[in-house]
Amino acid sequence: MKYVRRFLWYIASRMMIFTVILSLLFLAFYLPMNAANIYILLDDGMRMRTEVILTREDAHALTNFFRDDFLYADEALNLGLSSDSPYAYYNITSFESKVSLEWVWSWPWEDTAQAIIAHTVPVINGSVLSTRKSLAESGAIGKSPPSWQGGRYRMTLLKENGQWKIAGMTQTQVILEPTPAPAS
């Protein structure tokens, strides 16, 4: 009986060690994989959101990155698509969007994730629309597009049908962008 008990303890302890090692390998694979997927989604999603706000084009493409209920409630996006947009009088030719992922966490078995990012748009190139040149000459609007108000955001993401989507975004800090130089 003594040898049977030792043998069973040996088998059980090896199975326990094997299970712990397998669990660590599982975490070591899925945590970075989720973090990479989330970073790519946040970078591409925030770039697309910025493009839609600046140019007012391809708004339907945002559904690839954001949940529909978030898009309907996004004040910046709704302002950017309205006639009151600060970029409505400009032809935006290019811009530079920067996303810095500061923190991300998602357990492999959960369908939610949290992240903190800093999003800035340091460069916006464009010119006044030809139909609005008189407003620029009178000084009612600037000759170059206004600067972007960057920020630090707490992001909430949800996994739907195996795909991450941005479900919430709360600004925690304003990052002031430099005033762009007038275009020649």
Alpha-carbon span 110 to 174, nearest angstrom = 30
pLDDT (tens digit, 9 = 90+) per residue, 102-158?
Answer: 999 988 889 999 999 999 999 999 999 988 888 888 888 888 899 999 999 999 999
What was the pLDDT predicted at 124? 93
Query: What's the distance, Cα to Cα, between the start and end of the chain in Å?
Result: 92
pLDDT (tens digit, 9 = 90+) per residue, 6-35?
Answer: 989 999 999 999 999 998 888 888 888 888
pLDDT (tens digit, 9 = 90+) per residue, 39-77?
Answer: 999 999 999 999 999 999 989 999 999 999 999 999 999
pTM for the whole structure: 0.84
Topology of the domain covering 30-176: Nuclear Transport Factor 2; Chain: A, (3.10.450)
Alpha-carbon span 67 to 58, nearest angstrom = 16
